[in-house]
Chain A
Amino acid sequence: MHTSSKLKKEFFKKWMQGLQICCSSKKQMNIMERKKKIKLSSDIAMASAKMTPTSWSNALISNAKKCEQDTVLVDKLIGPQSQLKLQKTSNKMISFHNRVQCKKVLKRSCNYAAKKTKRMGDSRKNLATIIAKRLVKKRTKVLKRLVPGGESLDEFSLIKEALDYILSLKVQVDVMRSVVNATEVVLNGDNLMKSV
């Protein structure tokens, strides 16, 4: 798909930018820190390389900003324009999230009383549907935790976000894998040359 190769190029550029910014600090880093920086710049690059910003990308970036060490990197990567958009959306998201939580608490308390009376007259099929619904609810909770920014989404948009997130994760993995393989090939090949 031609769109995905564009996305790959964008992501790659931004990722390299991020890595450059990272290594401009003169500290000596151990492997874990390096890995964190690599992953962080990769995530941010992915989130900012999207053509149309989606909920998960904004959530990713705002989460990264909360951590003080990385704000510099994040700010440099995403650029000035998108920062303003991010602030607005993050404020909206917070208030929306609170509202959603209040509604959920209310719903739960109402439904609890109703369900007690309902359960008396259950046929087998209703039981099955109830069990199925419980399973689905559990899994949607897990999915909400996985997708960044998914907690404040309803089921419908959660699925859309998950779709998008999966696509971009695939792109991320592809690019990263090819980079890693390229560097490994170079180094291994060099060792081979030496032995020969």
Chain B
Amino acid sequence: MMEKREEMCYQFVEDEIESLISPPEGGSSFTALLELPANQVVKLLDSPVGFPVPEGGNNDVNLVKEEPVELRNSEDSDPVVSKSVKRKEREKKVKLPVKKSKNVVNESDGDKEKLPYVHVRARRGQATDSHSLAERARREKINARMKLLQELVPGCNKISGTAMVLDEIINHVQSLQRQVEFLSMRLAAVHPSIDINIDNMFSAESGSLMDCNFHGMVSPPLSLDGQINGHSQQLWQPDGLPPQPLWGAEEVNPNFITPENSLLSYDSSGNSASLHTNQLKMEL
């Protein structure tokens, strides 16, 4: 008997979590969602409602603000149907307070720092002393955020269980960090000095740079001429090139001179001779 009730509780928990997760509206409300669990207010039941759970199971409890009066009265003879009906009603009711609490968040932005008393309603078949209630509230918050994390990390949606999800997250973070290291190594290898002449691009609009770069990534092998032209035009736009005496010609890597030379001569359309020498120095 106890096991049956516990199973119901587990199913209950899963349903609640699913319904908690369903409202996300997209990337923009991401941070709003993050604020949500912290400021969610549910009612506190000081005296346990029908706990320990009696045989009839009349004293159901809700997760949410709405009064359980209607549900309490709707005990049917057929337990399965009633349970599914109740679950749906509970799901609906869970969604409503999510919206309400969002409004609360918008209104009381000044109170973001303070966490009000977190009110939690006891669920069926669970302890109702304050410690476990608080723990459960905390767990729910954590689980909600874990769901958000799951959506962020690719391939995490199918995994269940906190430990596995955390595993995936850790792997993802580690791989991203390694990628950063790897990419910075590649950059360091490409240029003999840190001096990337992309700062010319930087002085031009950086927005167009992004587009240009992405185009370059998409189709490097085809139409290389056009691409290079476009790139180099962007790269060596003489947009207010500041005289940089600091970038001395001390670091001379002989291997690199020839490619840069040829590239510069190829792109000699709009550049002055002084610019060429400056560019060379910068490259070196």
Contacts and interface: CB of A to CB of B under 8 A. Distances in A.
A42 interface: yes
B184 A35 contact: yes
A81 to B, nearest CB: 21
Contact of B194 (A37, A142, A156): A37
Interface stretch (B96-104, B144-152, B268-276): B144-152
Contact of A176 (B28, B180, B198, B228): B180
A19 B200 CA distance: 13
A160 B35 CA distance: 10
A159 B180 contact: no
A126 interface: no
B142 interface: yes
B184 A176 contact: yes
A38 B142 CA distance: 36
Contacts of B262: 190, 193-194
B149 A162 contact: yes
A192 B221 CA distance: 10
Contacts, number: 193
B194 A181 contact: no
B196 A9 contact: no
Contacts of B54: none
Contact of A159 (B142, B202, B214, B266): B142
A173 B183 contact: yes
Contacts of B162: 132, 136
Contacts of B198: 16, 179, 182-183
A185 B216 contact: yes
Contacts of B206: 9, 12-13
A39 interface: yes
Interface stretch (A24-32, A85-93, A113-121): A24-32
Interface in B193-222: 193-196, 198-199, 202, 206-207, 209-210, 212-214, 216-217, 220
B163 A146 contact: no
Interface secondary structure of A, over-half rule = helix
B224 A159 contact: no
A111 interface: no
B266 to A, nearest CB: 7
A20 B209 CA distance: 18
A19 B26 CA distance: 35
Interface string A170-195: 10110011111111111111111110
A190 B214 CA distance: 19
A187 B224 contact: no
Contact of B141 (A156, A169, A194): A156
B176 interface: yes
A62 interface: no
A7 B231 CA distance: 23
A182 B247 contact: no
A58 to B, nearest CB: 17
Contact of A39 (B153, B180, B212, B251): B180
A34 B186 CA distance: 10
A194 to B, nearest CB: 6
Given A143-B169, A166-B152, A183-B187, 19 more contacts: A9-B210, A13-B206, A16-B198, A26-B250, A34-B191, A38-B184, A43-B180, A136-B162, A136-B163, A143-B173, A159-B145, A162-B173, A169-B176, A176-B183, A178-B214, A178-B217, A183-B190, A192-B224, A194-B262
Closest 5 CB pairs of A and B: A139-B166, A34-B188, A135-B163, A35-B188, A169-B176
Interface of B: 27-28, 34, 138, 141-142, 145-146, 148-149, 152-153, 161-163, 166-167, 169-170, 172-174, 176-177, 179-181, 183-191, 193-196, 198-199, 202, 206-207, 209-210, 212-214, 216-217, 220, 224-225, 227-228, 231-232, 235, 246-248, 250-251, 259, 262-263, 266
